[in-house]
A and B are shown apart, each in its own frame.
Chain A
């Protein structure tokens, strides 16, 4: 089972460059999430989607955009990268809206902005 797959795994960007992180899940999950993880900060929610064609802001959305054109894919875009966006990014997904549904995470994407 592939589960949640993120690409690329590592990327170095120059300040001002743009890029897109791709998340794909093969579990037919409705909900998808993008988190960032920084030392001493824990996991923080950037954006999320409750279904195909929908997106919503999380705790730290500034500087990021997302799209959910297909149910299985959730894209995270950085239009003009800044050093403060150096982080590890995790995609996650879950099924349905019940409180008991577990969120499953991908393996992470390491982004360095210089």
Chain B
């Protein structure tokens, strides 16, 4: 069964304290791993798509990496405005629909 597990469920950081969020997945025929950011009361906002092991993408303080079993979202020197829930999703299987993890809620304190 296709599955996405994100850890930790919640992460509290001090401003400037770098860390990583984990997304473990099992899927038949990966056709993309997606990271989204979701602010309270808003819809998910697209961040990155990764396709193959070893691939990396960066955007400001965020860097996403991919292996054959998991993806990491590295946050370097975070700021309070990085506080949000980060969602991971994979596309695979016969229908190719996205399967989402439950998200990691990140809080960055000044």
> Which of B43, B49, B101 sits near A100, CB closer than 8 Å?
B49
Q: Which residues of B contact A48 (CB under 8 A)?
A: 97
Nearest Cβ distance between residue B42 and chain A, in whole angstroms?
A: 6
Nearest Cβ distance between residue A91 and chain B, in whole angstroms?
A: 9
| Interface size, chain B (Cβ < 8 Å) | 23
Docked Cα-Cα span, A105 to B91, in Å, equals: 16
Q: What is the interface of chain B mostly: helix, strand, loop, or mixed?
A: loop
Q: Which residues of B contact A42 (CB under 8 A)?
A: 87, 100-103
Q: Which residues of B contact A97 (CB under 8 A)?
A: 96
Most buried by B among A42, A45, A102, A105: A42
Q: Which residues of B contact A33 (CB under 8 A)?
A: 97
| Interface size, chain A (Cβ < 8 Å) | 23
B34 engages A105 (CB within 8 Å):
no
Task: For B9, give the chain A residue with the smallest CB separation.
Answer: A40
A-B contact count (CB 8 A): 49
Q: Which residues of A contact B42 (CB under 8 A)?
A: 107-108
A104 interface contact, C-beta 8 A? yes
A60 interface contact, C-beta 8 A? no
Docked Cα-Cα span, A108 to B39, in Å, equals: 12
A43 interface contact, C-beta 8 A? yes
Most buried by A among B43, B45, B89, B102: B43
B97 engages A108 (CB within 8 Å):
no
A interface residue numbers (CB < 8 A to B) = 4, 33, 40-45, 48, 56, 58, 90, 92, 97, 99-100, 102-108
What are 27 pairs between A and B in contact, CB < 8 Å? A42-B87, A42-B103, A43-B89, A43-B98, A43-B100, A45-B97, A45-B98, A48-B97, A58-B97, A90-B43, A99-B31, A99-B32, A99-B51, A99-B91, A99-B96, A100-B32, A102-B34, A102-B49, A103-B98, A104-B46, A105-B36, A105-B43, A105-B44, A105-B45, A106-B43, A108-B41, A108-B43
